[in-house]
Amino acid sequence: MASTPAPALPRHLQDRLEAGLQRRRQGYRTRFAPSPTGPLHRGNLRTALIGWLDARLHGGEWLLRIDDLDGPRNRAGAEEAIVDDLLWLGLHWDGPLERQSERRGVYATVLSALRGADLLYPCRCSRRLLADVSAPHGALTPYPGFCRERTPVWGPQAGRLPSWRLRLGPGAIRWQERWGPAGCQDGPGTVGDVVLRRADGVVAYHLATALDELLMGISDVVRGEDLWPSTGAQVAVMAALGAPPPRYAHVPLWRDGQGERLSKRQGAEGLAGLRARGHDAPAVIGLLASSLELIPPGSRLSAGELAATLAPADLERALHRNDRGVDKP
Ligand code: GLU
């Protein structure tokens, strides 16, 4: 992807970004970043365990960030339930718990800087219009750029504010993928101009997440493979800020007997159900780890004991995937 000159950020923010990049160079640091939309299910817990293990096996840090920007989707009590579940399993995080909702000011400052550097444009295309021009069968098509060349009007029109899109340059967006083929998505052909601020004023997930990886000094993003397709957009945001991406490790999702991924929405079983069936923490750690064939089924052990039995190569062996689609480089 063509590199753009980084926009001028206020000094204090530039310093924080540089401190984050410096922290990244000092050693391994990852994060678990659930949205507080409901209790964690077995699949989420397994992803948390993988990140925690990876951090411990690398002598690094595992941070906890609550992705709570999308107010209407948040559920009362979900954050407390997530915290309780992680502690009950013995997955202790390093440093203070972080919340995206506490960084709204930082996101707004970065959005203004990107806008000031002419990297954004206002978009008034409705979801409905974009769905109509999309490929059938729900295939994701990148934004076709209808508003790209229009004279920018940032204020309300017909009572509606625009969303703010990042103008993507031509070329491929690449990143390092630790347990699979190198990540590559075509900027215009696959990712398209990314919404960074929604028309309802909410900061978009891609902006908040990309910026947080930088500010938190994340060296390795370990998360579910459902987020692989979001990576190009996040790497593009980092590039717009003049920052290289961290390394990524997208991990397989837990699927049910029909091959369907577990989902919070469909009420996939979480710790409450497992506890009600008499499982204690060692049994649950055993269940999560044996589902990856890291240890034999029926094992009972603490998270710390599991870390002590494994080497980084064991995780690599259990989690490496070659079947992930990438754009032709
Ligand atoms: N908050 C997102 C989710 O719960 C995950 C973000 C991430 O790990 O990048 O799906």
Please work out whether the CB of residue 30 comes within 6 Å of at least one atom of ligand 1: no
The pLDDT tens digits of the residues spanning 256-291 come to: 777 788 877 677 788 999 999 999 999 999 999 999
Please work out whether the CB of residue 209 comes within 6 Å of at least one atom of ligand 1: yes
Of all residues in the chain, the percent with pLDDT exceeding 70 is 94
Please work out whether the CB of residue 231 comes within 6 Å of at least one atom of ligand 1: no
Q: What is the mean pLDDT of residues 70-97?
A: 96
Predicted pLDDT of residue 137: 56
Please work out whether the CB of residue 227 comes within 6 Å of at least one atom of ligand 1: yes
pTM of the model: 0.94
**Ligand 1 probe mutation, 50, 213, 216, 227, most atoms within 8 A of CB:** 227
CATH topology of domain 11-251: Rossmann fold (3.40.50)
Q: What is the mean pLDDT of the chain?
A: 92
Is the confidence at residue 134, as pLDDT, over 80? no
Please work out whether the CB of residue 44 comes within 6 Å of at least one atom of ligand 1: no
Is the confidence at residue 3, as pLDDT, over 60? no
Distance CA 212, CA 218 (A): 8
Predicted pLDDT of residue 264: 72
What type of residue sits at position 198? Answer: R
**Ligand 1 probe mutation, 37, 41, 67, most atoms within 8 A of CB:** 67
Structure tokens at 234: 């996040």
Residues contacting 36, CB < 8 A, separation 6+ = 66, 67, 68, 74, 75, 78, 79, 82
Q: Which helix (H) or strand (E) holds 313?
A: helix 312-319
Please work out whether the CB of residue 67 comes within 6 Å of at least one atom of ligand 1: yes
What type of residue sits at position 283? Answer: A
Q: What is the mean pLDDT of residues 308-317?
A: 95
Predicted pLDDT of residue 139: 56
Predicted pLDDT of residue 108: 97
| Top-confidence residue, 2 or 165 | 165
The pLDDT tens digits of the residues spanning 15-32 come to: 999 999 999 999 999 999
Structure tokens at 300: 């009972």
The pLDDT tens digits of the residues spanning 170-223 come to: 999 999 999 999 999 999 999 999 999 999 999 999 999 999 999 999 999 999
Q: Which helix (H) or strand (E) holds 306?
A: helix 303-309
> 68: CA distance to ligand 1 center in Å?
10
Distance CA 71, CA 109 (A): 20
Of all residues in the chain, the percent with pLDDT exceeding 90 is 83
Strand ranges (E), the chain: 29-32, 61-66, 98-99, 120-123, 163-166, 172-175, 183-186, 195-197, 220-224, 247-251
Structural domain boundaries in the chain: 11-251
Predicted pLDDT of residue 321: 81
Q: Which helix (H) or strand (E) holds 61?
A: strand 61-66
- Which atom of ligand 1 lies closest to the CA of 223? 8
- Which atom of ligand 1 lies closest to the CA of 230? 9
For 258, list phi and psi in degrees, rounded to 5: -90, 5
> Among 135-139, 158-162, 306-310, which stretch is predicted with the lowest mean pLDDT?
135-139
Confidence tier at 131 by pLDDT (50, 70, 90): confident
| Top-confidence residue, 57 or 139 | 57
Cβ pair 45, 89 in contact under 8 A: yes
Cross-sheet strand order for the sheet of 163-166: 120-123, 163-166, 195-197
Is the confidence at residue 123, as pLDDT, over 60? yes
**Ligand 1 probe mutation, 31, 100, 223, most atoms within 8 A of CB:** 223
- The one-character DSSP state at 148 is T
